[in-house]
Structure 1
């Protein structure tokens, strides 16, 4: 049941038939409720891309809130939705079911403030040293802009947000890493935010440390794929061997029909199993 909060001419709040009425950031919204059927390959691909994006951004909530907050202001969107929308579209690679993050294309903030030149990241024995050119003579940069750093550890699905780790004028900062984190895959990003919070820069990818490692989930997927692939290869050899040797009459016997069914089932399963090399 829906309720007309402001009388018969006002916006409804609730459900009428297969429609749901509600307010989103002060804007009246209506959406239709559909009955879910068996998902198509395109739908499964979309769900997988959304899951990969959600996992990527799951440890960046405060960074994202600042990074896309100004852009979201005055719209029905929120910062997280904008970040998901951009990175799902631009920062993924591969085909379903092997969709992965393209870390070089991830964007964690969008704005008009200028980035710094000469961005560098160096690994030390105890952490990471990040540096930039502190020059502020052009592009409306200011010495007291805040420096924001995002450190991601995809292997452990964790991350560290540094929302005000230094000033632009300092030209460098140091981030200590523990014994576990310093040997993990590291993906790092930097952005600059004005002191009054009214401007922010696009984020920049600082690079990777320790290479791109295989996560426990990726290892499990690879092992499952290899098991299915091994059985598929065995069945495919038998299947095509019998096609080559048998007459058309023998291809209709029960044993061959079972073999053909297993071949087709394994072929479909192999196409839907994540973990394919490359």
Structure 2
């Protein structure tokens, strides 16, 4: 850290690894350390897996803001999503196992990732997981959700909880969500979502969301990745 004086006035902001800021009326400058290169296989593997989950987070961000309102030991929003899916969801494997790793290459250049969509969590919180199922209409490509109603309430289960259905294209990182009904009444939802073309994989999830949106349940996969082969 150093104090700088300039006839042009005070500087604030960052240029490269150099940061300018003001403290107690003095203009200070410090240099941030350069990022360390990923050296080990474990570091690169983790970076590739983290990056894959971050890609899903980027596309499903609006859903994640709804599904992770905070609670149940999880932070709010994207941080909650990343924590919930930190392990066991993405798996990185070497593209060329017999070739030495290069410090100059990015993790994604040397590792390929697969995602277990049955373990992916698109919501998290302390509410009870709803009872629901989903199926894929072979003719239209629509996903049909059905949710059972209940008459009993408890500390983590309320009749006015909303039940949310989520459809995600595997590998395409595209999703939509709609309300199926309430926990008390149950409901049935035929999505108006149709896959871009036959051969795409789709997975579906459900979770509960409190009436005011302040609390959620963990999500559960109700339709494992399924290929849509359009009916004749």
Q: Give the TM-score of the pair, scaled to structure 1.
A: 0.58
Instruction: Decide which moves more: 58-67 or 180-189.
Output: 180-189
Q: Is the 8 A contact 1:146 1:193 kept in 2?
A: yes
Equivalences for residues 54-203 of structure 1 within 5 A: 54-71=54-71, 78-96=76-94, 97-117=111-131, 119-124=132-137, 125-126=139-140, 127-140=142-155, 141-162=157-178, 164-168=179-183, 169-178=185-194, 180=196, 183-203=199-219
Distance 1:210 1:196 in 2: 33
Q: Does structure 2 conserve the Cα–Cα contact (< 8 Å) formed by 1:68 and 1:83?
A: yes
Q: In 2, distance between residues paired with 1:132 and 1:205?
A: 13
Contact 1:134/1:171 (CA < 8 Å) preserved in 2? yes
Q: CA deviation at 1:130?
A: 0.9
Equivalent runs, 1:234-273 vs 2, <5 Å: none
Pick the structure with greater CA Rg.
1
Name the SS of the counterpart of 1:161 in structure 2: strand
Which has a greater percent of helix?
1
State the Cα RMSD in Å. 3.2
Equivalent position SS for 2:93: coil
Q: Which residue of 1 aligns with 2:10?
A: none
Compare the two structures and name the one with the higher strand fraction.
2
Q: Is the 8 A contact 1:185 1:208 kept in 2?
A: no
- C-alpha change, 1:180 and 1:192, in structure 2 (3 Å) is same
Aligned counterparts of 2:170 and 2:28: Cα–Cα separation in 1: 40
C-alpha displacement of 1:160: 1.6
| Secondary structure of the corresponding residue to residue 122 of structure 2 | coil
SS in 2 for 1:191: strand
**Compared CA separation, residues 105 and 206, structure 1 to 2 (3 A):** same
- Whole-angstrom distance in 1 between the partners of 2:228 and 2:42: 28
Larger relative contact order (CA 8 Å, sep ≥ 6): 2
Using the size of structure 2 for normalisation, the TM-score is: 0.68
Question: 1:63: how far off?
Answer: 1.6
Q: CA deviation at 1:61?
A: 0.9
